[in-house]
Structure 1
Amino acid sequence: MSRRAAAVTTCKGMPMTTQHHIDHPTEGLLREITDEERADFVANGVTRLEAVIAPSWIDYLRTAVDRLMTDVHATSQNYTSPGQPRFFSQAFPRFVDSAFDAWALCGPTKNIARQIHPAVRSLRFFYDQVFAQEPGAVEGAPFHQDYAYLPIDGDQYFRIWVPLDTVTTDNGAVHYLKGSHLGPVYRPRSFSGNPEVAAVYQRSPYPELPDFSADYDRHEWFIGDAEPGDALLHHPKTVHGSPANHSSRPRRAVTTIFAGDEVVWDPRPGTSFDHIADIGGFSVPPMTPGSPIGGDLFPVVWQNPRHD
């Protein structure tokens, strides 16, 4: 774990992992998740949670993303050709900039996860990523499922996508295939087309993804139009992807994955953790397949006080 540094500050007893502390907002989730939103998530595998994130957190994250895109880290990725408007990605930004550490450990999105699945007894941070399509970026994200990329399994698995800009169809709104979380799992795909990464994903036990673009009109889609302050929650098996940014506006977002206490380590072949040194800059400590995930790399961010 070469990019981890000595702890320098805490959030309710949880050590930060990056080198410089930046004061962060303290607002929690602005409202409770409704029964209708829970039902929508269960039925469709995706739901939009309107006006749940405080403006102070949005401003804080915009500044942090600007830093990432200006002082580009060696582990960042760009899915467009050199010299073109970028589709920028930084996996595990919490190990690059302490603002994302604060967001992961102290931010309000963990409360979305625990409210969506009230039976959860504890939550661990598992993964975070920044996606930023500059105005005119000609590439989007291909259709895919998050589940196939990550070596974990279980129902208490939450991916929360927080937009930092107004998101519409013309600047890259994510398209989610309704109900696909109930269907089969497909093999991961390389966003960049890198042949070495593609070779890693070819080891996956899952079949190739169908050409949903060719058959787009035969399916029912949720279009992730959203405003800053909203959050899009989707199931890890929900098929989704985003188009190019055809607008003059950026489309920036921070996404975080939390895992509940019943989620287990599942190191099947062909996940992104098979090339984690390239996108994360660290190695993963040994864990027993089928056992709950643990360790400092995946810190506990919330625990039900009734379950010590």
Structure 2
Amino acid sequence: MSTAIADIGIDYPRSGLIRPVSDEERAAYARDGAAVVRGVIPQDWVEFMREAVTRLIEESDPSSQNYADDGDPRFFSLTFPWMFDDAFKAWAIHGPLAEVARQVLTDANKIIFFYDQIFAKEPGATKATPWHQDLPFLPVKGEQQVRIWVPFDTATADGGAVHYLRGSHLWGKIYHPIGFKPLPEIVETYKNSPYEDMPDFEAEYDSYDWLVAEAEPGDLLLHDPRTVHGSRGNRTERYRRAITSFYVGDGATWNPHAANMFRNKNLTGHVTAPDLEVGGSIECDMFPQVWP
């Protein structure tokens, strides 16, 4: 076992998935590039991780980000919390999501955990998550990739539910990554992307077919990293707290292109990218095998 995941110094839930991902949900994911999987995360994990997310929000570590405009309610984010907090390590490595990834990436011989990220919109946080794909941020190449978004509060259309552009993962197009906040250092990082400019999906929103993924605690969202997605602001009086967890199969390879996330020090400056062979496996202490 990787030394990075061997020891967890806290007690954590031991419950597994309430039920498996269904054939219909896998088919929706393959067709649309996103799917809502309802009623699969046990309540003890929901409560455990809601508390963990809230704790890190309140700590406001300097490595976290606030994508909201100055003076507005926060749009909080933090990458790689699993590397610094045992609750997130338990969730990533021993929680139910590794089994979800195994059930989705059916042709993989191994499941590898890549990274996690907190996304939390405070009540009244009207800042939208801009339309984007995940893949152009990632130093990973290959088909065996899945991102799993888990809400710990009700996510409604007016409360920050994620919007997915159905079928966009099959267009064969990867778009230039953009920062969630137009800071000069972020703009500079992403300007050397090898990808093409993104259309104005906001201006043409009504001409596309969107999945507005309203969800409850206990549900999860599957999405392909090539799927265009984003969310509106949180116009409710409740939090919208969520964690995204990214898993890959052994067919995924290391692809540290010029605009990958590790070059955005505003986002990942608190961690160091591993020295891996381009085109080789990503498995290492930072990206550990979680199944089998």
Q: TM-score, normalised by structure 2?
A: 0.96
- Report deviation, 1:233: 0.2
Q: CA deviation at 1:277?
A: 7.2
Q: AA paired with 2:286?
A: L
Are 1:112 and 2:103 counterparts? no
The aligned runs of 1:79-228 (5 Å cut-off) are 79-183=67-171, 184-228=173-217
Matched residue type, 1:156:
Q
1:27-62 CA-partner distances (Å, limit 9, x unpaired): 111111111111111110000100110000000011
What is residue 218 of structure 2 aligned with on the other side? 229
Instruction: Report the 3-state secondary structure (helix = DSSP H, G, I; strand = E; otherwise coil) of the residue aligned with 1:162.
Output: strand
Distance 1:245 1:179 in 2: 26
- Quick check: 2:79–2:267 contact (8 Å CA) kept in 1? no
**More displaced stretch, 90-99 vs 122-131:** 90-99
Per the TM alignment, residue 285 of structure 1 is displaced from its structure 2 partner at its CA by: 2.0
Q: In the alignment, residue 128 of structure 1 is paired with which amino acid? A: D
Question: How has the CA–CA distance of structure 1 residues 277 and 168 changed in structure 2, closer, same or farther, with 3 Å as cutoff?
Answer: closer
Query: Which whole-Å CA distance do the structure 1 matches of 2:91 and 2:4 have between them?
Result: 11
C-alpha separation in 2, matches of 1:274 and 1:193 = 16
Q: 1:129 deviation in Å? A: 0.2
Q: CA RMSD in A?
A: 1.6
Distance 1:129 1:143 in 2: 17
Query: SS at the partner of 2:129?
Result: coil
1:265 maps to which residue? 254
Mapped contact 1:163–1:254 kept (Cα < 8 A): yes
* Secondary structure, aligned partner of 2:130: coil
Tell whether the 8 Å contact from 1:123 to 1:261 is kept in structure 2 after alignment.
yes
Name the structure 2 match of 1:4.
none
Look up the equivalent residue of 2:228 and give its one-letter code: V
TM-aligned CA deviation for residue 278 of structure 1: 4.8
Aligned counterpart for 2:51 among listed residues 43, 63, 68: 63
Three-state SS of the structure 2 residue aligned to 1:160 is strand
Letter in 1 for 2:146: F
One-letter amino acid of the structure 2 residue matched with residue 152 of structure 1: V
1:40 and 2:35 aligned: no
Q: Is the 8 A contact 2:63 2:78 kept in 1?
A: yes
Change (3 A) 1:276 1:261: farther
Alignment of 1:221-300 (within 5 A): 221-276=210-265, 278-300=267-289
**3-state SS of 1:132 partner:** strand
Offset at 1:283? 1.4
Contact 1:264 1:291 in 2 (8 A): yes
8 Å contact 1:277–1:283 — kept in the other structure? Answer: no
Looking at structure 1, the residues matched to 111 and 31 of structure 2 have their Cα atoms a distance apart, in angstroms, of: 23
Instruction: Give, in whole Å, the separation in 1 of the partners of 2:245 and 2:168.
Output: 21
Q: Deviations over 1:192-214 (max 9, x none)?
A: 11111111111101111111010
Report SS of the residue matched to 1:170: coil
CA distance in 2, matches of 1:25, 1:91: 23
Whole-angstrom CA distance in 2 between matches of 1:129 and 1:302: 21
Q: Is the 8 A contact 1:18 1:96 kept in 2?
A: no
TM-score by length of 1: 0.91
More deviation, 247-256/91-100: 91-100
Residues of 2 paired with 1:159 and 1:27: CA distance? 21
Identity %: 45
Shift of 1:170: 0.7
Where structure 1 has 5 or more consecutive residues not aligned to the other structure, the ranges are 1-12, 304-308
Is the 1:158–1:257 contact (alpha carbons within 8 Å) kept by the matching residues of 2?
yes
Note the residue ranges of structure 2 that are not aligned, 5 or more in a row. none
Q: Which amino acid aligns with 1:104?
A: A
Number of residues of Structure 1 aligned to a counterpart in Structure 2: 291
The 8 Å contact of residues 190 and 197 in structure 1, kept in 2 or not, is answered as: yes
The answer to whether the 8 Å contact 1:186/1:208 transfers is yes
CA apart distance, 1:15: 4.6
Q: What is the SS of the residue equivalent to 1:142?
A: strand
How many angstroms apart in 1 are the aligned matches of 2:253 and 2:263? 17
